[in-house]
Structure 1
Amino acid sequence: MILLTDELRDRLLANGRQRDIDHVPVAKFFNPVGAGTWLITEMEADGDTLFGLADLGFGCPELGSCSLAELTLARLPFGLGIERDILFQATFPLSVYAEAARQAGNIVEGERRLRAAAATLQDRR
């Protein structure tokens, strides 16, 4: 599977040029046979460095950078590789997903948990 379409790449690059904005995730990548989920918001001009929320299954998701090339080259059991969730549509900015993940210990997409995380962030302000 091609991890990034031209449209997604353009959106990620555009987000990467806009600093200090809490972007809504553009793409979700996942390991189809085990732990590993990435919500990606931005791409650097180098065309490889991605930024987002990563959950490698250790109970401590974190914000940071990863390499598109490394995700693309990952070889998993049964000849599989990292895949993109083609149905993923983010509804909140990355900070909300990060807060919900901090609370749950893993990336969550449930509306109720995300709304609660958004409320928590709002209360802190």
Structure 2
Amino acid sequence: MILITGDLRARLLANGAAETETDHYPVVKLFDPTGAATWLLTELDADGDTLFGLCDLGFECPELGSVSLAELESIRGPFGLGIERDLHFEARFPLSVYTQAARIAGHITEAERLLRQAAASISSPHSELPPDAAAERR
């Protein structure tokens, strides 16, 4: 299977070339059909090999980081199966929401409830004290 088609490559490269830091929507989801590893990728560096996104190797600690496309293409698991692209994946949220949901779940998830919970937690202001209480303590 071709992991990154020409169209996907163009979108990933455009995201990678963005001059301002942007919370991109994932462009592609890759996964190990015989294991728990999953990648939600948003960017490709100009080198054509370094991908960036949410990486989950199945150890309950997904994290943002980079991965080599050449390495992903070279992986062969049981029965000679390689990494595959989720042909039905359509990102509904920016990467930050998938990241927050993965931290809650311990793995990359597409569960609607968790994604909405993560989106709500990101959009709500984070303050240890309500504004009135903070003013009273001064």
TM range (shorter): over 0.9
Deviation, 1:124, is 3.6
Corresponding residue pairs, total:
125
Q: Distance in 2 between matches of 1:79 and 1:61?
A: 25
Amino acid aligned to 1:9 = R
Identical residues among aligned pairs (%)? 66
Question: Paired residue for 1:109?
Answer: 110
- The reply to whether residue 41 of structure 1 matches residue 42 of structure 2 is yes
Deviation, 1:111, is 1.3
TM-score by length of 1: 0.97
TM-score by length of 2: 0.88
Q: What RMSD, in angstroms, separates the aligned Cα atoms of the two structures? A: 0.8
Q: Give the 5 Å matches for 1:71-82.
A: 71-82=72-83
- The reply to whether residue 5 of structure 1 matches residue 5 of structure 2 is yes
Q: Distance in 2 between matches of 1:102 and 1:83?
A: 23
Amino acid aligned to 2:115 = L
Question: Paired residue for 1:21?
Answer: 22
Runs of 4+ residues over 4 Å off in structure 1: none
Question: Secondary structure in 1 aligned to 2:100?
Answer: helix
Question: Secondary structure in 1 aligned to 2:122?
Answer: helix
Q: Distance in 2 between matches of 1:74 and 1:33?
A: 11
Q: Distance in 1 between matches of 2:125 and 2:110?
A: 22
Structure 1 unaligned runs (5+)?
none
Q: Deviations over 1:48-76 (max 9, x none)?
A: 00000011111100000000000000111
Amino acid aligned to 2:4 = L
Structure 2 unaligned runs (5+)?
127-138
Question: Paired residue for 2:133?
Answer: none
Question: Secondary structure in 1 aligned to 2:104?
Answer: helix
Q: Distance in 1 between matches of 2:125 and 2:102?
A: 17
Question: Secondary structure in 1 aligned to 2:124?
Answer: helix
* Structure exhibiting the larger radius of gyration computed from Cα positions: 2
Q: Deviations over 1:13-62 (max 9, x none)?
A: 00001140000000000000011000000000000000000111111000
